[in-house]
Amino acid sequence: MTTTRRDFIRIGGTGFGAAAVGTGITTKWWGLDGDRVHDPGTEGDRVVPTFCELCFWKCGVLAHVKGERVTKIVGNPEHPLSRGRLCPRGTGGVGLLYDPDRLKKPLLRRSPKRGEQKFEEVSWKEALDFTASKMDDIRQKHGPETLALFSHGNGGSFFKTLMAAYGSSTISAPSYAQCRGPREVGFDLTFGSVLGSPEILDIENTRVLTLIGSHLGENMHNTQVQDMARMIGKGGELVVVDPRFSIAAGKARYWLPIKPGTDIALLLAWIKVILDEDLFDREYVAKYATGLDELRKHVEGKTPEWAFTETTIAPNVIVETARFIAGARPASLVHPGRHAVWYGDDTQRSRAIAILDALLGSWGRRGGIFVPSTLAVPKVHVPDYPAAKTANDKPGGKAYPFAYEILSDGLCNASIPASPSENPAVRGWLVYGSNLPMTLPQPKVVVEAAQHLDLLCAIDVLPAEITGFADVVLPECTYLERWEDLGPFGWREPFVALRQPVVPPMFDSKPGWWMAKELANRLGLGDFFPYEDAGKMVEERLKAGGHDPEKAKAKGVVLGKKVPVTTEDGLVLSFKTPSGKIELYSQRLAAAGADPLPNYTRPEEPPPGHFRLLFGRSPVHTFARTTNNRFLGTVTSENELWLAAKAAKEQGLENGEAVVLVNQDGVRSQPVRLKVTQRIRPDCVYTVHGFGHTSKGLRFARNRGMDDQRLITRVKIDPIAGTTGMSVNFVRIEKAEPADLVGAVGSIAPAGSVAAAAGAAAGSGHGGEA
Partner 1 sequence: MSSVTGAKRQRRYAMTVDTRLCVGCKACVLACKAENAVPDGLCRDWVVEETRGEFPALSMEIRSERCNHCTEAPCVANCPTGASHVNEGGAVLVTHYKCSGCKACIAACPYEARFVHPDGYVDKCTFCLHRVKKGGQPACVSICPTATLTFGDANDPASAVSSQLASRRSKVLHPESGADPNLHFLL
Residues 13-52 that bind partner 1 (CB under 8 A): 28, 30-31, 35-42
In the bound state with partner 1, the residue whose beta carbon lies nearer, of 134 and 681, is: 681
In the bound state with partner 1, the residue whose beta carbon lies nearer, of 185 and 239, is: 239
143 binds partner 1 (CB under 8 A): no
Residues in 702-761 that interact with partner 1 by CB under 8 A: 761
- Distance in Å, CB of 767 to partner 1, minimum: 6
Stretch that binds partner 1, among 244-252, 411-419, 687-695, 715-723 (CB under 8 A): 244-252
As a whole number of angstroms, the distance between CA 693 and CA 486 comes to 32
As a whole number of angstroms, the distance between CA 466 and CA 34 comes to 57
In the bound state with partner 1, the residue whose beta carbon lies nearer, of 368 and 619, is: 619
In the bound state with partner 1, the residue whose beta carbon lies nearer, of 219 and 669, is: 219
DSSP string, 432-495: ES--GGGTSSSHHHHHHHHHH-SEEEEEESS--GGGGG-SEEEEBPPGGG-----EEE-BSS-E
657 exposed, middle or buried (CB, 10 Å; 0-12, 13-18, 19+)? Answer: middle
Q: What are phi and psi of 534, to 5 degrees?
A: -65, -30
As a whole number of angstroms, the distance between CA 555 and CA 576 comes to 36
For the chain, the helix, strand and coil percentages under 3-state DSSP, each to the nearest 5: 35, 15, 50
Of residues 126, 129, 137, 218, which one binds partner 1 by CB under 8 A?
218
In the bound state with partner 1, the residue whose beta carbon lies nearer, of 387 and 770, is: 770
225 binds partner 1 (CB under 8 A): yes
2 binds partner 1 (CB under 8 A): no
Of residues 322, 680, 744, 745, which one binds partner 1 by CB under 8 A?
680
Site string for partner 1, 635-664 (x = CB under 8 A): xx-------xxx------------------
48 exposed, middle or buried (CB, 10 Å; 0-12, 13-18, 19+)? Answer: buried
**Burial per residue of 188-200, b for 16 or more beta-carbon CB atoms within 10 angstroms, e otherwise:** bbbbbbbbebbbb
531 exposed, middle or buried (CB, 10 Å; 0-12, 13-18, 19+)? Answer: middle
- Distance in Å, CB of 645 to partner 1, minimum: 7
Widest Cα–Cα separation across the chain: 94
Of residues 395, 397, 750, 763, which one binds partner 1 by CB under 8 A?
763
In the bound state with partner 1, the residue whose beta carbon lies nearer, of 96 and 147, is: 96
Beta strand residue intervals within 550-677, DSSP E: 557-559, 582-583, 611-616, 640-644, 658-663, 672-677
In the bound state with partner 1, the residue whose beta carbon lies nearer, of 234 and 696, is: 234
- CA–CA–CA angle 247, 253, 258 (5° rounding): 70
Q: What number of CA atoms fall less than 13 Å from residue 387's CA on the CB side?
A: 0
As a whole number of angstroms, the distance between CA 148 and CA 168 comes to 7
Stretch that binds partner 1, among 224-232, 584-592, 703-711, 737-745 (CB under 8 A): 224-232
Beta strand residue intervals within 199-244, DSSP E: 208-212, 237-241
| Residue 552: strand pairing partners | none
CA-wise closest residue to 578 among 600, 596, 564, 595: 596
CA-wise closest residue to 337 among 349, 325, 327, 328: 349
- Distance in Å, CB of 14 to partner 1, minimum: 16
In the bound state with partner 1, the residue whose beta carbon lies nearer, of 225 and 474, is: 225
676 binds partner 1 (CB under 8 A): no
- Distance in Å, CB of 339 to partner 1, minimum: 17
In the bound state with partner 1, the residue whose beta carbon lies nearer, of 62 and 496, is: 62
Of residues 169, 193, 226, 586, which one binds partner 1 by CB under 8 A?
226
Site string for partner 1, 447-486 (x = CB under 8 A): ----------------------------------------
699 binds partner 1 (CB under 8 A): no
Task: Find out whether 223 and 81 touch, Cβ atoms under 8 Å.
Answer: yes
Of residues 103, 148, 185, 220, which one binds partner 1 by CB under 8 A?
220
419 binds partner 1 (CB under 8 A): no
Stretch that binds partner 1, among 2-10, 18-26, 130-138, 297-305 (CB under 8 A): 2-10
Number of residues engaging partner 1 in binding (CB under 8 A): 76
- Amino acid identity of residue 662, one-letter, is V
- Distance in Å, CB of 682 to partner 1, minimum: 8
Stretch that binds partner 1, among 201-209, 223-231, 557-565, 725-733 (CB under 8 A): 223-231
Q: Tell me, what DSSP letter sits at residue 584?
A: S
* Residue 424: count of CB within 10 angstroms of its CB: 19
- Distance in Å, CB of 77 to partner 1, minimum: 10
As a whole number of angstroms, the distance between CA 160 and CA 379 comes to 14
74 binds partner 1 (CB under 8 A): yes
In the bound state with partner 1, the residue whose beta carbon lies nearer, of 91 and 439, is: 91
Compute the CA torsion angle 594, 595, 600, 605 (nearest 10 deg).
-10
- Distance in Å, CB of 762 to partner 1, minimum: 7
As a whole number of angstroms, the distance between CA 109 and CA 118 comes to 6
594 binds partner 1 (CB under 8 A): no
In the bound state with partner 1, the residue whose beta carbon lies nearer, of 245 and 611, is: 245
Residues in 166-195 that interact with partner 1 by CB under 8 A: none
Of residues 26, 47, 65, 71, which one binds partner 1 by CB under 8 A?
71
CA-wise closest residue to 604 among 251, 302, 287, 344: 344
- Distance in Å, CB of 72 to partner 1, minimum: 4
- Distance in Å, CB of 247 to partner 1, minimum: 5
67 binds partner 1 (CB under 8 A): no
In the bound state with partner 1, the residue whose beta carbon lies nearer, of 245 and 429, is: 245
As a whole number of angstroms, the distance between CA 688 and CA 326 comes to 33
- Going across the sheet that includes 60-66, the strands are 46-51, 60-66, 69-75
Task: Find out whether 601 and 696 touch, Cβ atoms under 8 Å.
Answer: no
In angstroms, how far is CA 458 from the centroid of its own chain? Answer: 20
Stretch that binds partner 1, among 67-75, 465-473, 500-508, 556-564 (CB under 8 A): 67-75
Of residues 114, 230, 296, 522, which one binds partner 1 by CB under 8 A?
230
Stretch that binds partner 1, among 16-24, 138-146, 248-256, 515-523 (CB under 8 A): 248-256
Of residues 22, 67, 100, 233, which one binds partner 1 by CB under 8 A?
233
Residues in 83-142 that interact with partner 1 by CB under 8 A: 84-88, 90-92, 94
Task: Find out whether 688 and 766 touch, Cβ atoms under 8 Å.
Answer: no
Residues in 506-535 that interact with partner 1 by CB under 8 A: none
* Strand 487-489 relative to strand 672-677, pairing: unpaired
Task: Find out whether 709 and 636 touch, Cβ atoms under 8 Å.
Answer: no
In the bound state with partner 1, the residue whose beta carbon lies nearer, of 126 and 218, is: 218
Residues in 603-622 that interact with partner 1 by CB under 8 A: 619-620
